[in-house]
Amino acid sequence: MTPKNRLLRDDRAIKMGYSADKRKRKNQHRVNAKQLLREAGFFAQGGQRGTTMHQVAKWHLDQARMLARS
């Protein structure tokens, strides 16, 4: 695994404002990803593949997937 694909540790997640409960945190990451992609809009540069907003949204989705597996 590359460092960017690691699961966020509980103590760091809590410092970032996420829940200590993994189920709630998984949902928080999914909501954040959807919000980032929705706010960028379809034709806006921010939501397109390879852009920063898209990469951050993918990170949130990866975190949610890893939380579901753990």
Distance CA 64, CA 2 (A): 17
Closest CA to 53 of 68, 32, 69, 67: 32
pLDDT, residue 1, reads: 38
> In the predicted model, what is the mean pLDDT of residues 44-53?
64
Q: Token match 């996420």: residue? A: 18
Average pLDDT for 40-65: 75
The pLDDT value given to residue 55: 84
pLDDT at 61: 92
Q: What is the pTM of this model?
A: 0.73
pLDDT in tens, 23-47: 999 999 999 999 988 876 655 565 5
Burial of 21-46, coded b for 16+ CB within 10 Å and e otherwise, reads ebeebbebbbebbeebbeebeeeeee
Residue 15: predicted pLDDT: 94
